[in-house]
């Protein structure tokens, strides 16, 4: 059997590794961005000088040969789903018995005037990073469009290199479409303390300049001068190859609960896949998809059941973790909230009729297993409060006296 | 095919010019080092030891603090900005120059002390105050070492002050170096004419368990000196395994030990240069356990020799012990261990050479409650933990699989847990 994987991101690589653990199939990964797998969320650390590109590779280069996973650094231009073959941009072809599409996602540009000017960047790929690096030379001021997770990373990294940052946020508080008001407010204040100029209730109308960026115009008509513009308003699944090859695509490549696409022997996982109408643009989901599809390809045909949701991020110096569901508007749930008097530390436990359903933590580390187990088992919130110490994952000597 | 530029241009530092107070501070440290060297040739400087001391130890302390103290005003949190783009911290010209300077210092200190000239005069005032005797080269070395640990310790406190674990641990190594390695031995010399380090045991100080030194301790009329004999035997055979069972090797390596003290303070800017490859791990296991076998054999030989009245082995065991002192004690721990800080990271000796670490490591791996636990699937494989592990442990390879880290070499410094942007790692004694 020959399994071909397109895309060496976390989804594709996890699928390949899972298959290798379970079978002797020949495995080939074809990817165009970089010869080896690297950690996409670590891009900002390269820019800030915390890491070099080499450090962001989760496996040493000899790992692939040792595990008999062939790597091809090429772009796939066509899939023939009847002949079961793919064609690459170097003209060569490969035939497959199973094909995994793990083509990921890219920055979405919403046709703003001036979005092709020099100095306007998306921030998802290595090539983006190299372009950002080139624009940064001599830059004094940057606009970050969008107040989400990638936006705050963009703001932090530019700021770390001495570039003044203005962030344009559509909502009236930071990431308010996802976070409840207290969390939004705490992070917004933290960014401001770091010297980020955040403008709420603002939207981009156009990017101005002739060849290079000179500034932006907001929908209010206000203009702000800048040398760089970072587009962080979201990403879009990379589906063009699937679309061209006659595979069903909506927002992402449509898959069933076995990650099977509309074409036989073709699967899709990670950022590019759409399951039950949902595209999950998360590292953790992409990894879980990869594990599952690997098992499916090796003959364990069980439907994918999503585990309790979790995510984490870092907003400058504030670590963020979330488990289960904490709706931004807090509809139909009751919160128990603890906040440190003067430090950036915050915990929200959410329950529905006394049954715990979610956690938000800022500046605190919670133990994932315990929180997820509580949510899975529909634990009464008093039990959670009584045993809260078990969920402490902070370092030693950390004062964990949650006075709820 | 599109070719990509993966090696990003290195141009961060030139735009971030050092602030004025830092430039003056570094200048003062450099001037102090130059004046110290100048003293080797004698002259007016060394004629007045108090002035010489102020212009070297004093000036470098003030300069160091000028650079470091303002950092307490920055917002707390991990800031490794520019570590990989600065030549000093990423094996650039400056790093090599510093490495050569450190190495040269050790070579002169161990083998060509005559070139130190009257440099020891710089610490004479301190030596008279503490020990009631003039300084020798070892006292000079001890003073410089302690000053480095204290000043760079303050830097460490500033850098990691968001983390209570680092505050406590750094304070501990600083205190240990100042009290147990510097002041107490000096006072012991003054009051009991016997130099003794309560925080070093066999096999890091192999001669502490050699028959000649033990016999001398136990034969003394001075109760304190007899106590030293008990202490050293008790620490080597009982306290080390018991404490390591409960806390892992960190109770010693990153809380008490003098080599650890320097690594955790002056070595911190260089920690990312340790080799993380599988090859390095293999080499580490062979070399460090080789050293341990060597020192165990040496000690056994010397005891045998002593039991048989020195007749069986003749002078052979003594020269063996001398060889150990030269190759391991001086060459490895000093020249390579500290001299290569800027190139190979701060823990070369601790990782590849220290027999104490080898014992603690075996205990940690097989008989200890200490481990680093990982937080479910939260790892994003970014690599910060592995990169900043001074022991060259590929922490990520465990974290991304969600398994506990239980490695012999881990000194429990806790930096991997601090630099992790997703709160994945936790040091535990469960
Ligand atoms: C800056 C940034 C920070 C992030 N931080 C986090 C975070 O903290 N937590 C989190 O959960 N998620 C984070 N994410 C999201 C996370 O990185 C993605 O969810 C994850 O990388 C998706 O993995 P993937 O394998 O599906 O796709 P990708 O990682 O996007 O990999 C797809 C690969 O396929 C290649 N490819 C596409 N088409 C072709 C073709 N036709 N031929 C050959 N190769 C092709 C692409 O070049 C690419 O290399 C972040 C994303 C970014 C951009
Ligand atoms: S694994 Fe972590 S705690 Fe252990 S030595 Fe490395 S960085 Fe320090
Ligand atoms: S630093 Fe944290 S997130 Fe990054 S690789 Fe290590 S454990 Fe994973």
A128-132, A362-366, B201-205, B304-308: the lowest-pLDDT one: B304-308
Distance CA B133, CA A299 (A): 81
Closest by Cα among A166, A26, A29 to A97: A26
DSSP state letter for B35: H
| Interface contact flag, B277 A56, Cβ < 8 Å | no
- B312-364 pLDDT, tens digit per residue, is 666 666 777 777 777 777 778 778 888 889 999 999 999 999 999 999 999 99
The string of pLDDT tens digits covering residues A328-365 is 999 999 999 999 988 999 999 999 999 999 999 999 99
- Please tell me whether residue A61 adopts helix, strand or coil conformation: coil
Of residues A182, A234, A159, the one with CA closest to residue A204: A234
Nearest CA to A259 among A272, A245, A246, A250? A272
- Determine the distance separating the centroid of ligand 2 and the alpha carbon of A323, expressed in angstroms: 27
Q: Which two tokens stand for residue A7?
A: 């895309």
φ, ψ of residue B43 in degrees (nearest 5): 85, -170
Residue with tokens 């470098």: B60
Residue B306 pLDDT level (bands cut at 50, 70, 90): confident
Q: How far apart, in whole angstroms, are the C-alpha atoms of residue B321 and residue B27? A: 43
Q: Indicate yes or no: CB of B418 within 8 angstroms of CB of A395.
A: yes
Beta strands in A232-345 (DSSP E): 235-237, 253-255, 266-268, 273-275, 310-315, 318-324, 334-339
pLDDT score recorded for residue B207: 85
Please identify, by atom number, the ligand 3 atom nearest to the C-alpha of residue B386.
6
- How much is the pLDDT for B192? 85
B170 falls in which pLDDT band (50, 70, 90)?
very high
For the segment A119-148, the average pLDDT, to the nearest whole number, is 96
Distance CA B163, CA B174 (A): 17
Contacts of A197 (CB under 8 A, 6+ apart): A164, A165, A166, A167
- For B40-69, what is the mean pLDDT? 92
Task: Compute φ and ψ for B66, nearest 5 degrees.
Answer: -65, -35
| Beta carbons within 8 Å of B33's beta carbon, 6+ residues apart | B56, B60
Q: Is B85 on the interface with A (CB under 8 A)?
A: yes
**Residues in CB range of B335: below 8 A, 6 or more apart:** B103, B106, B107, B110
Over range B251-268, report the average pLDDT.
96
pLDDT at B10: 43
CB–CB contact A372 B376 (8 Å): yes
Mutate: best of A47, A51, A88, partner B, most B CBs <10 A: A51
- On average, the pLDDT of chain A sits at 96
Tokens of B200: 């070093």
Examine the pLDDT at B5 and tell me if it is beyond 80: no
Distance, CA of B78 to CA of B67 (rounded, Å): 18
Closest to B227 (Cα-Cα) out of B253, B194, B182: B194
Q: What ipTM did this prediction achieve?
A: 0.96
Per-residue pLDDT band for B95 (boundaries 50, 70, 90) equals: very high
Q: For residues A267 and A297, is the Cβ–Cβ distance under 8 A?
A: yes
Which atom of ligand 1 is least distant from the CA of A270?
Answer: 26
Span from the CA of A105 to the centroid of ligand 1 (angstroms) = 6
Domain limits of chain B?
Answer: 369-430
> What is the average pLDDT across A101-109?
97
Question: How many Å apart are CA B96 and CA B342, to the nearest integer?
Answer: 7
Q: In whole angstroms, what is the distance from residue B317 CA to residue B379 CA?
A: 52
What's the rounded Cα separation, in Å, for the pair B87 and B91?
A: 6
The ligand whose atoms approach the alpha carbon of A90 most closely is 1
Check the CA dihedral B141-B144-B150-B151 and report its sign. Answer: negative
Contacts of A55 in chain B (CB under 8 A): 383, 386-387
| H/E segment holding residue B189 | helix B184-192
d(CA B396, CA B422): 12
Antiparallel, parallel or unpaired: β A98-101 and A266-268: parallel
Q: Which CATH class is domain B369-430?
A: alpha beta
Q: Which atom of ligand 2 is nearest to the CA of B413?
A: 8
- Per-residue model confidence as pLDDT tens digits over A138-171: 999 999 999 899 999 999 999 999 999 999 999 9
Beta carbons of A50 and B83 less than 8 angstroms apart: yes
Please tell me the distance from the alpha carbon of residue A305 to that of residue A173, in angstroms, as a whole number: 34
What confidence score (pLDDT) does residue B91 get? 95
H/E segment holding residue A199: strand A197-199
Instruction: Quote the percentage of chain A above a pLDDT of 90.
Output: 96
Residue B309 has a pLDDT of 77
Q: B-chain residues within 8 Å CB-CB of A50?
A: 80-81, 83-84, 384, 387, 419
Distance between CA atoms of B360 and B252, rounded to whole angstroms? 9
| Interchain CB contacts (distance < 8 Å): A and B | 153
What secondary structure does DSSP assign to B273-334, as a single string?
GS--SHHHHHHHHHHHHHHHHHHHHHHHHHHHHHHTTTTTTTTHHHHHHHHHIIIIIIIIII
Q: Which pair of tokens denotes residue B248?
A: 């892992």
Q: Contacts of residue B372 in chain A, CB cutoff 8 Å?
A: none
CA distance B346 to B351: 9
Q: Which range (A219-228, B196-205, B273-282) has the least confidence?
A: B196-205
pLDDT for position B317: 65
Residue of chain B with shortest Cα separation from A287: B377
B361: left (phi over 0), alpha (psi -120 to 50) or beta: alpha
For residues A254 and A263, what is the distance between their CA atoms, to the nearest angstrom?
10
Q: What pairs with residue A342 in β-bridges?
A: none
Give the position of tokens 């070579």: B107
The answer to whether the beta carbons of residues A49 and B83 sit under 8 Å apart is yes
d(CA A94, CA A100): 13
Shortest alpha-carbon distance between residue A8 and chain B (Å): 14
Q: What is the pLDDT of residue B39?
A: 86
Q: Is the pLDDT of residue B45 over 70?
A: yes
Angle between helices B355-366 and B278-307 (to 10 degrees): 110
**Coil, strand, or helix at residue A156?**
helix
pLDDT band with cut points at 50, 70 and 90 for residue B13: very low
pLDDT band at A263, cuts 50/70/90? very high
Note which residues in 274-303 of chain B have CB less than 8 A from chain A: 277-278
Give the pLDDT confidence score for residue B2 in this predicted structure. Answer: 39
What pLDDT is recorded for position B143? 96
For B417, half-sphere exposure in the C-beta direction (CA atoms, 13 angstrom radius) is 26
* Domain architecture of chain A: domains with CATH: 2-106+235-297 (3.50.50.60), 120-231 (3.50.50.60), 310-391 (3.30.390.30)
pTM (predicted TM-score): 0.95
Percent of all residues in chain B with a pLDDT value above 90, rounded to a whole number: 72
Residue B151's nearest CA partner among B234, B32, B303 is B32
Cα–Cα distance measured from residue A13 to residue B180, given in angstroms and rounded to the nearest whole number: 52
Task: State the maximum Cα–Cα separation within chain B, in Å, rounded to a whole number.
Answer: 83
Nearest CA among B372, B416, B421 for reference residue B392: B416
For chain A, state the CA radius of gyration. Answer: 23
Selection from A143, A114, A107 nearest residue A227 by Cα: A143
pLDDT digits over A286-327, tens only?
999 999 999 999 999 999 999 999 999 999 999 999 999 999
SS3 A166: strand
pLDDT of residue B388: 98
How far is A29 from A3, CA to CA, in rounded Å? 9
Give the ligand with the smallest distance to the CA of A313: 1
Q: What is the pLDDT of residue B313?
A: 65
- The DSSP-derived string for B216-273 is HHHT-S-HHHHHHHHHHHHIIIIIHHHHHHHH-THHHHTTT-HHHHHHHHTTGGGGGG
As beta bridge partners, residue A349 has A336, A359
- Closest ligand 3 atom to residue A58 Cα is 5
Cα first-last separation, chain B: 52
Helix (H) or strand (E) holding B102: helix B93-111
Ligand nearest the Cα of residue A50 is: 3
């Amino acid at each position: 059997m020959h399994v071909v994987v397109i895309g060496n991101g976390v989804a594709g690589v996890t699928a390949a590794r899972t298959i290798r653990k379970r079978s002797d199939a020949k495995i080939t990964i074809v990817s165009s961005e970089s010869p080896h797998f690297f950690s996409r969320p670590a891009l900002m650390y390269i820019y800030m000088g915390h890491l070099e590109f080499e450090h962001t590779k989760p496996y040493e280069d000899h790992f692939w040969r040792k595990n008999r996973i062939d790597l091809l650094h090429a772009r796939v231009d066509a899939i023939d789903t009847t002949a079961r073959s793919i064609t690459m941009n170097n003209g060569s072809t490969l035939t497959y018995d199973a094909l995994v599409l793990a083509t990921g996602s890219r920055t979405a540009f919403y046709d703003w005037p001036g979005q092709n000017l020099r100095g306007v960047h998306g921030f998802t790929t290595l090539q983006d990073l190299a372009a950002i690096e080139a624009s940064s030379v001599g830059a004094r001021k940057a606009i970050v469009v969008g107040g989400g997770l990638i936006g705050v990373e963009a703001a932090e990294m530019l700021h770390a290199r001495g570039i003044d940052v203005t962030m344009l946020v559509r909502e009236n508080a930071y990431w308010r479409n996802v976070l409840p008001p207290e969390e939004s407010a705490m992070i917004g204040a933290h960014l401001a303390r770091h010297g980020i100029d955040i403008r709420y209730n603002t939207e981009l109308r156009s990017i101005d300049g002739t060849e290079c960026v000179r500034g932006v115009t907001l929908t209010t008509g206000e203009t702000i001068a800048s040398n760089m513009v970072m587009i962080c308003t979201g990403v879009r699944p990379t589906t063009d190859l699937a679309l061209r090859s006659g595979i069903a695509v909506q927002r992402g490549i449509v898959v069933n609960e076995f990650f099977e696409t509309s074409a036989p022997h073709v699967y899709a996982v990670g950022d590019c896949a759409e399951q039950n109408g949902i595209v999950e643009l998360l590292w953790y989901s992409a990894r879980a998809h990869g594990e599952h599809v690997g098992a499916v390809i090796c003959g364990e045909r069980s439907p994918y059941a999503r585990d309790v949701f979790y995510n984490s991020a870092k907003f400058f110096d504030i670590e963020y973790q979330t488990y289960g569901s904490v709706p931004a508007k807090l509809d139909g749930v009751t919160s128990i909230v603890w906040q440190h008097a003067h430090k950036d530390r915050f915990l929200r436990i959410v329950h529905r009729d006394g049954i715990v359903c979610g956690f938000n933590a800022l500046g605190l580390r919670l133990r994932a297993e315990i929180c997820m187990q509580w949510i899975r088992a529909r634990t009464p919130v008093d039990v959670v409060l009584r045993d809260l110490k078990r969920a402490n994952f902070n370092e030693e000597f950390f004062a964990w006296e949650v006075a709820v | 095919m599109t070719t990509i530029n993966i090696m990003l241009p290195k141009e961060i530092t030139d735009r971030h010019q050092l602030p004025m107070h830092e430039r003056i501070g570094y200048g003062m440290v450099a001037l102090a080092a130059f004046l110290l060297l100048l003293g080797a040739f004698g002259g007016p400087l060394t004629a007045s030891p108090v002035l010489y001391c102020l212009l070297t130890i004093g000036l470098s302390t003030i300069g160091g603090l000028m650079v470091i103290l303002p950092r307490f005003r920055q917002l707390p949190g991990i800031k490794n900005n520019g570590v990989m783009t600065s030549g000093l911290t990423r094996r650039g010209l400056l790093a090599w120059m510093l490495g050569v300077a450190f190495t040269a210092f050790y070579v002169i200190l161990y083998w060509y002390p005559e070139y130190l000239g009257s440099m020891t005069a710089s610490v004479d005032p301190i030596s008279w105050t503490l020990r009631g005797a003039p300084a020798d080269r070892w006292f000079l070395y001890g003073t410089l070492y302690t000053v480095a640990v204290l000043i760079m310790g303050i830097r460490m406190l500033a850098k990691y002050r968001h983390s209570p674990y680092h505050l406590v641990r750094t304070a501990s190594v600083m205190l240990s170096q100042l009290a147990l390695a510097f002041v107490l031995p000096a006072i012991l010399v003054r009051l009991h004419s016997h130099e003794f380090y309560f925080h070093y045991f066999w096999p890091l100080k192999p001669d502490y368990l050699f028959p000649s030194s033990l016999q001398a301790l136990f034969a003394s009329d001075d109760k304190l000196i007899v106590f030293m004999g008990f202490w050293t035997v008790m620490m080597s055979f009982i306290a080390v395994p018991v404490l390591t069972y409960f806390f892992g090797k960190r109770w010693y390596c990153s809380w008490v030990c003098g080599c650890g003290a320097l690594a955790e303070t002056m070595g911190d800017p260089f920690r990312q240069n340790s080799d993380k490859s599988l090859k390095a791990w293999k080499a580490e296991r062979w070399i460090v356990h080789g050293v341990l076998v060597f020192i165990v054999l040496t000690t056994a030989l010397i005891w045998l020799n002593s039991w048989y009245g020195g007749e069986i082995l003749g002078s052979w065991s003594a020269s063996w012990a001398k060889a150990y002192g030269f190759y391991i004690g001086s060459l490895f721990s000093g020249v390579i261990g500290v001299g290569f800080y800027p190139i190979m990271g701060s823990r070369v000796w601790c990782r590849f050479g220290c027999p104490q670490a080898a014992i603690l490591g075996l205990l940690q791996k097989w008989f200890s409650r200490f481990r680093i636990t990982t937080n479910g699937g939260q790892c994003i494989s970014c690599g910060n933990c592995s990169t900043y592990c001074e022991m060259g442990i590929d922490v990520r390879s465990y974290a991304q699989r969600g398994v506990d880290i239980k490695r012999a070499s881990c000194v429990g410094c806790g930096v991997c847990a601090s630099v992790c942007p997703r709160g994945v790692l936790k040091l535990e004694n469960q």
